[in-house]
Chain A
Amino acid sequence: MAELHIIGQIIGASGFPEKTLFCKWGIHTGEAWRLLSGLKEGQTQVDSPQIGDIAYWSHPIDLHYATKGLQGWPKIHLEVWHQDSFGRCQLYGYGFLGDDFDEKEGGRETEKQSEILLTAARHLNSAQFTCSCVIQRIMQHVYRAVNIHTSI
């Protein structure tokens, strides 16, 4: 019974043809994972930066997972949308952060900021994302699991 805390934030995005952006996000996990608390999907506010190129959202992510197995580590997907002056929304890019996202060290907190290249029809853009995972009591379980399987 290991638990995983995912704490982080979606900082912002840049490099899109328009600056008025918002982001939809969601976290996907495998079968063995149970969400204990927190929202696993959401949407940021629309930021329309007056200065600079980065649309800042600073959207917090705080989830608490419990898992009974190691497969299906959480992955986050991001969609960057543009809202135009008429309030119409248009998908500008999307991306997936999989294995990097759960880069883990036993019992310690790892924090990393990664830039995801979001694939869009025409543009390659980036959204920034920080995340730190707190892995509780996972290592002993990992070791146990490993031991079991080596003994088999």
Chain B
Amino acid sequence: MEAPEDGEEDEREALKRHLRAERQKRKKRLLEQSSIQKSRDADDVKDVTSIQQYSADEGPSEKADDSVVLSKSRTGSQKGLTSRTQHTHHLDDFVKRRLEEKLKAARSKGESLQDKEASLEFPSRLHSLRDRDTVTRFDREADADRAGRRDSPPPLSTRVRFREAARQVGKGLPTAEEAFNFFTLNFDPDPPDVIETSSRRRQKQRKTTDEDEEHEDVDEDIQEENETQSEEAPLVQTQEDLFVIDQSPQDFLEIRKAEYVGYQKLLQLQSELLFTPSFRTVPTSIKLPENMKPRYLEDEGLYVGERPPVSLTNENILENRILKMEEGKKWFGDDGRIIALPNPIKESSTRPPLFHMEEALDPALQTVYRKAVKSKYANLYIAGAADPEGDYQLDVDVSGLIFSHHPLFSREHILGARLAQLYDQYLTRQRNNLTGHLTDKLNGLRNALRNMLESHSGLNPTQALQQRISEYNLEVRNTRHLRDSEQEKDRTLLKNIVKVWKEIKALREFQKFTNTPYKLYLRRENVDRVSDEQDYEDEILAEVVELEAETEEEYQNKLAEYKKRLEEWKLCRKKQKAKKKKQKKKKKGQAQDDTEGEDEEQDVSESEGPTDEPPPKPEPPERPDLGSIEQWVREKALRIRRKPGEAILIPELSASANITASELCPRAEKARREDVARRSLFTKILYNDKEVSRTDSRSLNTDFRVHFGQIFNLKIVNCPQSISLQVFEEIGSSCSLLAQVFLPVPEPSVVTGSVPLEEFEFSSNQRVMFDHEGVGSDVPLSFEADGSNKQSLLTSGKVSCCVSWGIGDDDVPLAPPISQQPGGVHSGKGHLDAVSYIGASGLYDMKKIGEWAKQSRLDPNDPKNASIMQLLKVASSGEVTAPEYFRLEHLQEEFNFVTDEELEKSGRFRLLKLRNQEVAEFRNYKFIPALEREVTDTVFQEYEKRLKEGEVIDTKEHLDSHRALVAKYLQKIRESVINRFLLAKHHYLLSDLVTEEEIPTIGGAGPGILGINLFKLAEPKRPLKPQRKERKKVTAQNLSDGDIKLLVNIIRAYDIPVRRLQSNKPGQTSHSALQGSIGLPDQIQVRPFVEVSFQRTVLQTATADGPNPCWNEELQLPFSAPNGDYSTASLQSVKDEVFINIFDEVVHETVMNDKNRGKSIQTHIEKRWLGSVKIPFSTIYSQSKIEGTFKVNTPAVLLGYSKEKSHFTNSGFDILRSLSEGTFITLFITVDPQLVPGESVREKFDTQEDERLLQASERFERDAAQRYPDRPCITTVIDLSGKTVFITRYIRPLSPPKELLDEFPNNPLEATPLVARFVSLIPSLPDQVSLSATCDLWSTCDQFLTLLAGDEEEHAVLLCNYFLSLGKKAWLIIGTAIPEGPTAYVLTLEQNLYLIWNPSSGQFYGQYDTFCPLQAVGCLVNADNVWFNIQQYTSPMRVSFDITKANLWKPFFSRTFSHPGLSSIQPEELVYRRTDRAAAAELQDRIERILKEKIMEWRPRQPTRWNRYCTTTLKQFLPKLELIRGQDVAEGHRHELQSLLGDYRISGFPLNLVFSEIRPIIEAVYSTGIHSVQASNVEFALAVYVHPYPNNVMSVWIYLASLVLT
């Protein structure tokens, strides 16, 4: 630095001193504050860092007044400059002044900052205080914690000591002692009592907060400090725990138990990991950039939207969190609050655009305009109108009407009306006094303008002032024009009135009578001539001056314009000239060669010149003629204004003139007057287009005014849509509608008494002409003498009336609420309303709206204008992209991982869904792959195929269209029933869900361990006397494939047919053959074995000998449920049957004579079917075991075999056996493990039965179940529609098909077996299978015959009804039978003998038949009563069927509860369809074809030859068999065949089947095993016969035979 001048030096020194002093002062003030602020960050950091911190402290304190520092440095540099310059002094002065200014500014800034802060802190401190209070109140622990923390920061004094040390460092090198002290001294914390006192002082201060602001400042700071510390404290304290590893490496190897972490501990751990923002208020100073004052836009007058309501706590948490982030401060606005939008809603909506191109748009999406249809009934009635209080009353006051034109008007009337009209106009104008207003306004404006000009006369007018003056001028001009036009109108009106009056007078003069009472007076009002003239002159002068000024201004403008253009022109001209010159020069050069053409050239160029010149020379504007202005103004004034000094004319119209009496009038006029007198008028009042009332008829007066003066009170119920008056004119008896006047529906506030009468104009365009003085209507007429200026007038007039709401007794207006008003109230939106400004059409013009918005200076931030601003924003941004749609989750698309299609495509999800829906194919699908790629499409193939084929009925399967339909119908019923039972199935009992082992009982007979089992230990073991043990039942859910086995124990058989000796003699009788066979005891009669097939598994027993073999063999057949679903419902619907077939093993030995090797014997083993028993699995499942002796279903004819009659008289069975015929087999079948059969649905169904009856039936059944638990007792059943029906309603005599009875016209008894056969031919289908629910539905007979499927109950009911109609005594037996289990049989009484009929087979048994399948009799039912068996025994053999004995049979209806006369639900008569023989024949062919195909299919290795001859023979047998119903087998078949075929070994049999569908037939044929004949030279014969019965019941006969050539 150069040596500066002395003066300068001094000044600089002074400045420096000044600065320093200033800085010290400021520093003192700021020191506490800033140090506290800075120390905040490092409170818990170790001592050493606090020194750095101190030095950092210095920095900011200097920086705090960096404006000062800056200016200082600038002075330095400037000083360097000034030292070299000459005019240093001046500069110095300048600099000094500037610096001082700056200092002042800085100081004031600093002070104001402090002030501001103080004032700011005040409320926030209050907040924090409040917060603190709540915290301490609720959380003691936290309080204590914080109290501790409050002590933790290094005390102030310690820090001061550091600071001193640091300052010493800053001064220069420390002394040795100081250095030693610095590094070794243990800075003890201040004694705690100091802090305590200080804190106590603080608290005291807090209590007396309002006293001193400066105190508060300090207080505040300390407080802040505490807060921030407490926030951060836990974070750092726990850091130590986090990072210290106190486990040795061994610990890592150690295996420990899993540690349980308690909830509290877990919370603690989490709190260590997670940052939980504090919910205390953040001081403003932190949120703002340093040294920034918060700025409040609202105070500055800017519109700030209302912030969305957020709870203070949430806001605090958010703020605390944000502050922890990087650049957290950017989230805060100038006012130190979080930036928030007033409205979170997006400005533009987000619906996808809909393109309006006609082609592109989907026709389905095309908008179709439909006119709004007003609902006829909605809103028609006013709400609450029904109750008496809510009556509404509309008062219609029809005061009268005045015609402004009427056909009966005379000419004078027309003029009179015109005069009256003009006078009215005059009066209204007078009342409004527009001219006066405008004149006043004009004067006011002129004064204002003058004042303005005067006040600013001395000064140069500013831009704004000029603008205003010109605006004023404009306004004055406009007002003047308006006033002038008004004045002109006034003047012309007055002139017109006078003119019309003159015309009237002339007319009266002319026609010599007076028709109208009008009389016009013109009142003169004299004025002070001098003052008036003065005013007039002033006015003209003022106007002239103004006009002059205007014209002058205009001239000036024009002149300026002219000058500008002239300038331009000149410029152009100059250019032109310069150009020309150039051209000339050029030409001169050229001219030397060619001088002759020069002139020419020049001409051309000159002629060219002007074409280049764009503007012609502008004309200077003409100076306006100021003199003419005055003249013009005076002319105008003369025209529109009263002459000065002239009296003011005031017209007054009165009706005082005398009307000439009729006698004095000419005839035409007289006729007119008479016509007038004849007419009368009335009005109708129409409410909602309905006439509600009419006024009295009043005659038309000569003045064409009608006074009604009637008020109509309308009590209304309907909403007022329209109110109208119809004016009628009456001439004599005829009346015609003149006009209709529509009245507006009043607003609810319009109440009677408060509204004046209003006039409503009406007119009619009816053409009326008269031959008298009346002018008529719509007739041209002229008032001129020459007939010119014709005009035609229409009938018109005014009705004066008013409509208002009535007032009730208590001054309540009887008006409906405002919402009821149709149309609604349109209130103007004031001057800011855009629609009123630019018109509705302008709304579509964005530009216009934009202009308007600019002009009206809309506040863009005002929410009221939000929609317009948004519109403008969109419009101004170019194309209209604002989508006009709305989405709830409009970001859904963006956040999707996958599209919908992908989700739908997922095989895994589909599989899961289908399994969940229990779709048949996937019902028990066990494992669904976890990965998408593992799901193959093949899984769905079957399902999709089924879906596709869904509705198509496979006629091939059913062979009969009717049956296909029935199957479909059944399917539907099944679905509906399943749905019905779905709910019921979800009602669980405790035992359904909880499996509980029974508590062992000690010593008792229970099943427990300690019961019988205890004794069993002591019992001697008796292996030869095995005892049955109770098996454990297994519930379905624990099962899987292979767990279940079907156990079939085949014990023995009786009366198996024996082989007949092959006899070549056809004449041999059966008897002799039998004799012969018995006669040869060594001959093998039969070698039977039993084959059991179930679900594709075939097992067979060993072969036994003789017709009464004993096998005693147990066969185990595996069972698998469909789809592996072992649920009860699934098991119930298993349709599989167990086939038990008895075969004869035949061994053929053929001797082969081989010449080379000698004799050899070849043995063929052949099995021949003898008979079968089939038991459905569902029966086994529901019975859990089947035990007994069954009749084997043997074919009627067994070729090569003969039924052996019992000849073993010594056998114990013989007596019983002799009673029945046929083969029997003893079986025991069960399922292992025992399955729990599904229980019947416990659900009460809808019913139409009497409640009393139902209760009685419930009681009856309960009693029965209690006393005889194993006797079935049924009183109520469920019909197909799921309703409970009393059982006796099913019994009603119904006649069997007529064809059946016709067979035996003489003996109806003979028909009985035929009827039974007919019933048995209806296919049997257990309910459980068909409906897959454990419910027993009983269909009525007609339903049964339509469905052609049903279980035993339906068969029994039908049979019983048939028997009753045949005149038998018949009952329904409810009992148990084998193999069906609980079932229904039919009991008949014939000739003192009770017969038991099996309805499913058509067989009947005597009461004492041993082999009767019926095992137990539960109850008997007929149409009148139900009897329950209360005898000791249930077996039919031991039961007495005498129902009259009350000690044996307990009747349901007794004397105490008599039969209420229940009507039957059966139809009166059954309608049968005729037998369709053609269909039967077709069916027969088809079955035959299918069976032949199948048999060939089953023999894939051998050729299958059909013996045609045998087939035809067999075919002949079959109808005969049907005729004898398979009984009474004649041996003739064999003989016949034998005789026909000769050397064949024939074995064969006919099968009789019930036709339901083809599958069972094939199964039956297959199970006979006839196809399995291995002999090479075998031939087959197959014949099918279908015998049709009425109603599509078919009996199918299949004759199968195999022939081996011997």
Q: Which A25-66 residues have C-beta < 8 A from chain B?
A: 30-32, 34, 36-38, 64, 66
- CB-CB under 8 A for A69 and B896, given A1-B903, A31-B889: yes
Cβ contacts under 8 Å, B899 to chain A:
68
Nearest neighbor of B902 in chain A, beta-carbon distance: A1
Q: Which residues of B contact A1 (CB under 8 A)?
A: 897-898, 902-903, 906, 909, 932
Instruction: Tell yes or no: A144 within 8 A of B by CB.
Output: yes
* A 87-117 to B, binary, CB cutoff 8 A, 1 in contact else 0: 0000000000000000000000000000000
Query: CB within 8 Å of B: which of A6-26?
Result: none
A36–B916 CB distance below 8 A: yes
Contact B912 A64 (CB under 8 A): yes
Interface residue from A64, A71, A149 paired with B889 (Cβ < 8 Å): A71
In the complex, which of the residues B895, B902, B916, B932 contacts A69, with contact meaning CB atoms closer than 8 Å?
Answer: B895
Give the residues in chain B near A38, CB-CB below 8 Å. 916
CA distance A14 to B892 in the complex (A): 39
Is B915's CB within 8 Å of the partner chain A? yes
- Is the C-beta of B913 less than 8 angstroms from some C-beta in chain A? yes
Choice from B891, B912, B932 contacting A71 with Cβ under 8 Å: B891
Please name all residues of chain B whose beta carbon is closer than 8 Å to the beta carbon of A37 when the two chains form the complex.
Answer: 912-913, 915-916
A70 nearest in chain B by CB position = B895
A contact residues around B915 at 8 Å (CB) = 37
Closest A residue to B894 by beta carbon equals A149
Whether B906 lies near A68 (C-beta < 8 A) is no
- Alpha-carbon separation in the docked complex, A1 to B1574 (Å): 61
Report the Cα distance A149→B894, complex, angstroms: 9
Minimum Cβ distance to chain B for residue A45 (Å)? 9
Cβ contact within 8 Å between A30 and B912: no
Which residues of B sit under 8 angstroms from A123, Cβ to Cβ? none
Cα A70 to Cα B895 with chains together (Å)? 7
Alpha-carbon distance A31/B888, docked complex (angstroms): 10
Known contacts: A1-B902, A1-B903, A37-B916. The answer to whether A68 contacts B897 by CB under 8 A is: yes
Enumerate chain B residues within 8 angstroms of A124, measured Cβ to Cβ: none
CB-CB under 8 A for A32 and B896, given A66-B906, A68-B903, A72-B889: yes
The verdict on B900 contacting chain A, using a C-beta distance below 8 Å, is: yes
Q: Which residues of B contact A66 (CB under 8 A)?
A: 903, 906, 909
**Complex interface: chain A residues within 8 A of B891 (CB):** 71
Please give, as numbers and ranges, the residues of chain A lying within 8 Å of B889 by CB-CB distance: 30-31, 71-72
User: Chain B residues near A149 (CB, 8 Å)?
Assistant: 894-895
Per-position binary interface string of chain B over residues 915-928, scored 1 when its CB falls under 8 Å from any chain A CB and 0 otherwise = 11000000000000
Cβ–Cβ < 8 Å partners of B898 in chain A: 1, 68
- CB of B454, distance to nearest CB on chain A (Å): 69
Given A1-B906, A30-B889; A68-B913 close (CB under 8 Å): no
B193–chain A nearest beta-carbon distance, Å: 48
Cα of A64 to Cα of B895 in the assembled complex, Å: 21
Contact between A34 and B903 (Cβ–Cβ < 8 Å)?
Answer: yes
Interface of B, helix, strand, loop or mixed by DSSP: helix
Determine the chain B residues whose CB is within 8 A of the CB of A70 once the complex forms: 895
Residues on A with C-beta less than 8 A from B896 are: 32, 68-69
Contacts of A31 in B (CB 8 A): 889, 892
Of A34, A69, A144, A145, which one neighbours B892 at CB under 8 angstroms?
A: A69
Give the distance in Å from the alpha carbon of A69 to the alpha carbon of B898 in the complex. 8
Q: Which residues of B contact A120 (CB under 8 A)?
A: none
B496 to chain A minimum Cβ distance, whole angstroms, is 77
From 41 to 77 in chain B, residues with beta carbon under 8 angstroms from any chain A beta carbon are none
Q: Are A36 and B892 in contact (CB under 8 A)?
A: no
* A32: chain B residues within 8 A (beta carbon): 892, 896
B906 touches A145 (CB 8 A): no
Which residues from A are CB-within-8-Å of B909? 1, 34, 36, 66
CA distance A31 to B892 in the complex (A): 9
A2 interface residue (CB < 8 Å to B): yes
With both chains docked as a complex, state the minimum distance between the C-beta of B545 and any C-beta of chain A, in angstroms.
Answer: 73
Shortest CB distance A25–B (Å)? 16
Report the minimum CB–CB distance from B1301 to chain A (whole Å): 56
CA distance in complex: A67, B895 (Å) = 11
Residues in B neighbouring A36, C-beta threshold 8 A: 909, 912-913, 916
* Closest Cβ neighbor of A64 among chain B residues: B912
Q: How far is the CB of B933 from chain A (nearest CB, A)?
A: 13
CA distance A1 to B907 in the complex (A): 12
Chain A residue with Cβ nearest B904 = A34
Q: Which residues from chain A contact B902 at a C-beta distance below 8 Å? A: 1, 68
Given the contacts A36-B913, A69-B892, A2 and B897 also touching, CB distance less than 8 Å? yes
| Max chain B Cβ within 10 angstroms of own Cβ: one of A37, A145, A149 | A37
Shortest CB distance B915–A (Å): 7
- The contact string, 1 if C-beta is below 8 Å from chain A, for chain B 877-899, is 00000000000010110111111
Residues of chain B lying within 8 A (CB to CB) of residue A30: 889
Contact between B916 and A145, CB atoms less than 8 A apart: no
CB <8 Å contact, A68 and B912: no
Given the interface pairs A34-B909, A36-B909, A72-B889, the reply to whether A145 lies near B895 with Cβ below 8 Å is yes
Contacts of A141 in B (CB 8 A): 897
Inside 8 A of B912's CB, which chain A residues have their CB? Answer: 36-37, 64
Task: Output the least CB separation between B897 and chain A (Å).
Answer: 5
Contact mask for chain B residues 298-317; partner A; CB cutoff 8 A; 1 contact, 0 none: 00000000000000000000
Within the assembled complex, what's the spacing in Å between the Cα atoms of A37 and B891? 27
Closest chain-A Cβ to B991's Cβ sits at a distance in Å of 15
Give min CB distance, B266 to chain A, whole Å: 11
CA distance A144 to B894 in the complex (A): 12
CA distance A119 to B680 in the complex (A): 77
User: Once bound together, how far apart are the Cα atoms of A145 and B893, in whole Å?
Assistant: 11
Taking the closest CB of chain B, its distance from the CB of A134, in whole angstroms, is 12
Residues of chain A with a CB closer than 8 A to B916's CB: 36-38
Complex interface: chain B residues within 8 A of A2 (CB): 897
Q: How far is the CB of A20 from chain B (nearest CB, A)?
A: 17
A70 to B893, CA, bound (A): 11
Q: Given the known A-B contacts A64-B912, A71-B892, are A145 and B897 also in contact in the complex, defined by CB atoms under 8 Å?
A: yes
In angstroms, Cα B895 to Cα A141, docked, is: 10
Q: How far is the CA of A34 from the CA of B910 in the complex (A)?
A: 11
Q: Chain B: which residue is nearest A45 at the CB level?
A: B988
A68 shortest CB reach to chain B, Å: 5
Interface string of B645-663 (1 = CB under 8 A from A): 0000000000000000000
- Measured between C-beta atoms, what is the minimum distance from A112 to chain B in Å? 11
Interchain nearest-CB distance for A127 vs B (Å): 20
Compute how far the CA of A144 lies from the CA of B898 in the bound complex, rounded to whole angstroms.
Answer: 11
The residues of A that contact B900 with a CB separation of less than 8 Å are: 68
Q: How far is the CB of B744 from chain A (nearest CB, A)?
A: 50
Minimum distance in angstroms from B1138 CB to a CB of chain A: 36
Complex Cα distance A145/B898, Å?
10
**Which residues from B are CB-within-8-Å of A67?**
897
B68 smallest CB distance to A (angstroms): 47
Alpha-carbon distance A149/B895, docked complex (angstroms): 8
**Nearest Cβ on chain A to B895's Cβ, whole angstroms:** 5
- Expressed in whole angstroms, the Cα–Cα distance for A64 and B911 within the complex equals 13
B residues less than 8 Å from A34 (CB atoms):
903, 909
How far apart are A79's CB and chain B's nearest CB, in angstroms?
19
Contacts of A144 in B (CB 8 A): 897
In whole Å, how far is A138's beta carbon from the nearest beta carbon of chain B? 9
Within the complex, what minimum Cβ distance (angstroms) separates A98 from chain B?
Answer: 16
Which A residues lie within 8 Å of B895 (CB)? Answer: 69-71, 145, 149
With the chains together, A66 CA to B907 CA distance in Å? Answer: 13
Contacts of A71 in B (CB 8 A): 889, 891-892, 895
Residues of A within 8 A of B913 (CB): 36-37
Could you give 21 example pairs across A and B, Cβ below 8 Å? A1-B897, A1-B909, A1-B932, A30-B889, A31-B889, A31-B892, A34-B903, A34-B909, A36-B909, A36-B912, A37-B915, A37-B916, A66-B906, A66-B909, A67-B897, A68-B902, A68-B903, A69-B892, A70-B895, A71-B895, A144-B897
Closest CB pairs A-B (n = 9): A37-B916, A36-B912, A69-B896, A141-B897, A68-B898, A68-B896, A69-B895, A68-B903, A1-B898
Q: Give me 4 other A-B pairs in contact (C-beta within 8 A), A36-B909, A68-B899, A71-B891 excluded.
A: A1-B902, A1-B909, A31-B889, A34-B909
